[in-house]
Amino acid sequence: MPSFLGILLFFLFPISFSLPQRSSWPNALVLRVTKDASTLQYVTIINQRTPLVPVTFVVDLGGRYLWVDCDSGYISSSYRSAHCNSAQCSLANAAKGCKSCFAMPRPGCNNNTCVLFSENAFVGMVSPGDLGEDILALQSTNGLSPGPVASVPRFLFSCAQTFLIKGLASSVNGMVGLGRSRIAFPEQLSATFKFSRKFALCLPPSTMSSGVMFFGDGPYGLLPGIDVSKLLSYTPLIVNPISTAKVSYKGERSYEYFIGVKSIRINGKKVSFNPSLLSINKEGIGGTKISTVNPYTVLETSIYKAVTMSFLKEAENVTRVAPVAPFGVCFSPMNTRPTIPVIDLVMQSKEIFWRIFETNSVVQVTDTVACLGIVDGGSNARTSIVIGGYQLEDNLLQFDLVGSRLGFSSSLLLRETSCGNFNFTSIA
Ligand SMILES: *[C@@H]1O[C@H](CO)[C@@H](O)[C@H](O)[C@H]1NC(C)=O
Ligand SMILES: *[C@@H]1O[C@H](CO)[C@@H](O)[C@H](O)[C@H]1NC(C)=O
Ligand SMILES: *[C@@H]1O[C@H](CO)[C@@H](O)[C@H](O)[C@H]1NC(C)=O
């Protein structure tokens, strides 16, 4: 018996050493997110590789996975390319077949690996690259402040060529995709640490403060001690059967997050436009999605016209002035402070709506000119409503992939907190 136990321990130990201790497994992880002044992109820093180095990524809510420019000094002793026809390649839905590379082996140049196409949604370009894995590390959290660093030893991502970082904020090395794919960033974290498939986004309104992203369930604590996960209204998440990405395979489903906006109200009055624009048809056209790629909400032309007309009708004490691109409706306050109407995105019932207040609807362009922060998407817009970054700022959004629903808070400023209020001071 003792010898049998000895053999058993001998076999068990090397295995248990490679896994994190169950008791120290985090329930949630946290990342800081900032806004880049020149591109208006949302940026985060994630530690990767051996030795660990901070790598800067643009956040793409609808992106499929994490990709990195591997051609600009990717050095790591723990990088491994995925083997073609392996479980990783099929999990990633990579192109079939085996890829070779006739240069010095390095991340991005391997034999017998599979290829993924990384996408830069800002410029609509793709780059083929090797699927690989490496260590990635981020801070755990109890929801109130950051805790010990948790690492994912074999995080799957795609290598891209340097040209793909075109149009991204300076010093960015890739994009982190939070979309609906098996190897998206949130999915891999949930799978590694066995926490629930939920994540939350709280984007900062300016380049002066930072926002926060949580992976895992709440509490999501913001100073002064408010658990914002308790302040949410919910609406179902919808899958668009056809991708709306600038570049996609024919007939491929969408990796983005769609919701069912049923109508728009301005100061409580229903805005009139063709309601069929709000549903998604067989070709994947229509409906409402949420995007961190668009800095401002984009509306299909007829909705745009109806919304801006009602907005101007309801706004008091403003004088319309020449528009400042990309906006079409700009105004100057008159002698008194203007009164800006509230815009409601009404969901599955009249009582469930996402209310957009002045801080998320009006963009101050100069000292004397302000604009409605919504842009005209044209009459051929694939998606009728794209809720963009400016409208998401200082709102908490929880993507609950277990319940297939979106939790939204509306402006946190009315709850006396903001996305800049996560306490990033670690417990020593
Ligand atoms: C791939 O295999 C070919 C043929 O054996 C070899 O010439 C080449 O150097 C290899 N490339 C890498 C990156 O190992
Ligand atoms: C708009 O301005 C007029 C005249 O200055 C003033 O009487 C009125 O109260 C203002 N309305 C609002 C809503 O501030
Ligand atoms: C932030 O968290 C740290 C560590 O838990 C704590 O010492 C500090 O008091 C917190 N700050 C505030 C403003 O609550």
Give, for ligand 1, the residue of 84, 102, 109 to mutate: max count of ligand atoms closer than 8 Å to Cβ.
Answer: 102
Which ligand number lies closest to the CA of residue 339? 2
Can you give the pLDDT at residue 336? 74
Which ligand number lies closest to the CA of residue 107? 1
Can you give the pLDDT at residue 334? 67
- Assess whether 193 and 317 both reside in one domain: no
Can you give the pLDDT at residue 245? 80
- Assess whether 249 and 173 both reside in one domain: no
Closest ligand 1 atom to 103 CA: 13
Q: Is 272 a pocket residue for ligand 2 (Cβ < 6 Å)? A: no
Can you give the pLDDT at residue 15? 38
**Is residue 367, in this structure, part of any structural domain at all?**
yes
Which long-range contacts link 83-88 to residues 24+ away (Cβ below 8 Å)? 83/112, 83/113, 83/114, 84/112, 84/113, 84/114, 85/114, 86/114, 88/114, 88/131, 88/133, 88/156
Residue ranges for the chain with pLDDT beneath 70: 1-24, 247, 334-335, 427-428
Cα separation, 364 vs 318, in Å, equals 13
Which ligand number lies closest to the CA of residue 142? 3
- Assess whether 213 and 314 both reside in one domain: no
**Is residue 236, in this structure, part of any structural domain at all?**
yes
Closest ligand 1 atom to 100 CA: 1
**Measured in angstroms, how far is the CA atom of residue 425 from the centroid of ligand 3?**
6
Give, using CA atoms, the residue closest to atom 2 of ligand 1. 111
Residue 189, sorted as left (phi over 0), alpha (psi -120 to 50) or beta, turns out to be alpha
- Assess whether 209 and 252 both reside in one domain: no
**At 193, phi and psi to the nearest 5?**
-100, 0
Number of domains forming the structure of the chain: 2
Give, using CA atoms, the residue closest to atom 8 of ligand 3. 425
Cα separation, 217 vs 236, in Å, equals 17
Can you give the pLDDT at residue 178? 98
Both tokens assigned to 269 = 């009055």
Q: Is 109 a pocket residue for ligand 1 (Cβ < 6 Å)? A: yes
Picking from 392, 327, 418, the residue whose alpha carbon sits closest to that of residue 41 is 392
Which ligand number lies closest to the CA of residue 318? 2
Domain boundary among 201, 219, 237: 219
**Measured in angstroms, how far is the CA atom of residue 423 from the centroid of ligand 3?**
6
Cα separation, 407 vs 376, in Å, equals 27
- Assess whether 161 and 263 both reside in one domain: no
- Assess whether 36 and 62 both reside in one domain: yes
Which ligand number lies closest to the CA of residue 223? 3
Can you give the pLDDT at residue 428? 56
pLDDT tens for 315-369 read: 988 899 999 999 999 998 766 778 999 999 999 999 999 999 999 999 999 988 9
> In angstroms, how far is CA 98 from the centroid of its own chain?
31
- Assess whether 61 and 195 both reside in one domain: yes
Domain that holds residue 389: 228-421
**Measured in angstroms, how far is the CA atom of residue 143 from the centroid of ligand 3?**
12
**Is residue 95, in this structure, part of any structural domain at all?**
yes
**Is residue 428, in this structure, part of any structural domain at all?**
no
Which residues fall within 8 angstroms of residue 179, CB to CB, at 6 or more apart? 60, 61, 62, 63, 64, 255, 256, 257
**At 113, phi and psi to the nearest 5?**
-125, 175
Domain boundary among 219, 248, 272: 219
Residues enclosing ligand 3, CB less than 6 A? 145, 223, 423, 425, 427
CATH code at position 354:
2.40.70.10
- Assess whether 63 and 201 both reside in one domain: yes
Q: Is 319 a pocket residue for ligand 2 (Cβ < 6 Å)? A: no
What's the predicted TM-score (pTM) here? 0.93
Q: Is 336 a pocket residue for ligand 2 (Cβ < 6 Å)? A: yes
Can you give the pLDDT at residue 96? 87
- Assess whether 238 and 205 both reside in one domain: no
pLDDT tens for 211-267 read: 999 999 999 999 999 999 999 999 999 999 999 887 677 778 899 999 999 999 999
Domain boundary among 192, 219, 246: 219
**Is residue 426, in this structure, part of any structural domain at all?**
no
- Assess whether 412 and 317 both reside in one domain: yes
Can you give the pLDDT at residue 10? 39
- Assess whether 321 and 195 both reside in one domain: no
Cα separation, 216 vs 399, in Å, equals 10
Question: Is 249 within 8 Å of 272 (Cβ atoms)?
Answer: no
**Measured in angstroms, how far is the CA atom of residue 333 from the centroid of ligand 2?**
11
CA torsion, ordered 379, 381, 384, 388, to nearest 10 deg: -120
